[in-house]
Amino acid sequence: MRNEDEVIKSFIASASGRVNLIGEHTDYNGGFVLPTAIPQVTRVELWPRSDSHIRAESTNFSGLRSIFEYDLGNETRLGDWPDYIQGVTHILQSEGTPLHGFEIKIESRVPIGSGLSSSAALEVSLLKVLRKAFDLSLDDIQISRLSQRVENEFVGAKVGIMDPMAASLARLGHALFLDTRDLSYRQIRIPLDQMDLLVIHSGVIHSNAHGGGYNERRSECEKACKLLGIYQLRDLSLSKLLEMKDRLPDTLFRRARHVITENARVLAAVKAIEQGEMNALGEIFYASHSSMRDDYEVSTPEIDLLIELTKEEVEVFGARLTGGGFGGSVVILTFPGKGRALGEKLCLLYENKTGKIPKILVPENSGHKCATILEKI
Catalytic residue chosen out of the listed positions 27, 80, 139, 163: 163
- Residues 140 and 158: their CA atoms lie apart, in Å, by 21
- Residues 2 and 140: their CA atoms lie apart, in Å, by 30
The parts of the chain modelled with pLDDT lower than 50 are 210, 366-377
Sign of CA dihedral 162, 168, 171, 176: negative
- Residues 51 and 337: their CA atoms lie apart, in Å, by 54
Q: What is the mean pLDDT of the chain?
A: 92
pLDDT at 369: 40
Q: Would you call 362 helix, strand, or coil by DSSP?
A: strand
pLDDT-above-70 percentage for the chain? 92
Q: Note whether 53 and 183 are within 8 A (CB).
A: no
Q: Note whether 248 and 229 are within 8 A (CB).
A: no
pLDDT at 368: 41
Q: What is the dihedral of CA 214, 219, 221, 226, to 10 degrees?
A: 180
* Burial (0-12, 13-18, 19+ Cβ within 10 Å), 311: exposed
- Residues 45 and 9: their CA atoms lie apart, in Å, by 10
Which residues on adjacent β-strands are paired with residue 177? 186
User: Which residue type occupies 167?
Assistant: A
Largest CA distance in the chain: 71
Three-state DSSP string of 101-146: CEEEEEEECCCCCCCCCHHHHHHHHHHHHHHHHHCCCCCHHHHHHH
Q: Quick check: is 163 catalytic?
A: yes
- Exposure string of 57-72, with b = 16+ CB inside 10 Å and e = fewer, is ebebbeeeeeebebeb
Helix 82-94 / helix 140-149 crossing angle, nearest 10 deg: 110
- Residues 161 and 146: their CA atoms lie apart, in Å, by 10
Q: Around 161, how many Cα atoms within 13 Å sit in the side-chain half-sphere?
A: 23
